[in-house]
Structure 1
């Protein structure tokens, strides 16, 4: 895609969300709609944002037994998402069924490790090893399950790209140089992530919370 930036749009008001997308759409490549947006506005909200004319990334992080995830994937066919996420930690069978149930043309990517987590968090949840090792394990599993790619931080995307040459890699938690990191712990700049092999750059607050969102989006686009 010519512009890999997907705006993470989690505004609680649909009218404000549409207004923001229409303001910045010349400087982004798509819109990511997460659980907060989807639970608040449902199918109607997704259709309203789709009218803005950009690809839709449904970041629903599906994670359940294989049959349930397959049913959920079939239920969103009508929304025609370009990308949908499932949790890679759901296992191979779940990922296989998710991909099999996805609409033609929809990329299914596995969330490996949230960018709000670090190795201390991993230890507290009983996961051994480093965050890098965990991402690499789940990337290999997602590839073997037939997914299109994974979601990982910019810290791991370079290594995953070397391992999975044809993978589709979504990198969230990005911050332009000098920006506050907020609740993100494993961040890089959009340029660095792109250089390391990211296919999609998910950027939210640096644009949506900026005093001038259009200028913020334009400035990020200029670095790519």
Structure 2
């Protein structure tokens, strides 16, 4: 299978978006999701000279940006900490010329600025915020799958609506953290011994904040 090459910031601006103007906030008609940061090529394992950040805008279509060419709220990206996470949707971008680029239109480099107001948080990010900011303990809907206890969905509050306070988050790649394999086996046996033909139950759970932050939500 042939690997689809990633786009550079300049290629994304000119070839994918059709050459949008510099220094103007541009509304994206495609879905651009933040994937995460990487220090080497995930296919060929070549080491980058600096940290890169990968975005996805379709099946196999990615934008790879060196950290020095990224800004968040017009500040250096390395200082953003957890302001953007895996799965967050970016709705608008602003392209800026690099300081040494001048007026050369076909220059290879440009800077991409992302503003906080132009982000739509992923489900995982929303749950993390609820835990880190409001110390919410969520309801976890569990089920047995292939002799493992897995999370089917998580109940939280809907921060996008005032009419519907509760929301089911069912697109979160969350896993239960047991102290050891024996603990999981005991819990699995407990579920099977209950009068529960579907092998499902609901428990209270807390998001592992440190792990989420360290992995940028991956």
Q: Is this a same-fold pair by TM over 0.5? A: no
TM-score by length of structure 2 reads 0.25
Q: Normalized against structure 1, the TM-score is what?
A: 0.24
**Greater helix proportion:** 1
Which structure has more strand as a fraction of its residues? 2
- Which has the greater radius of gyration? 2
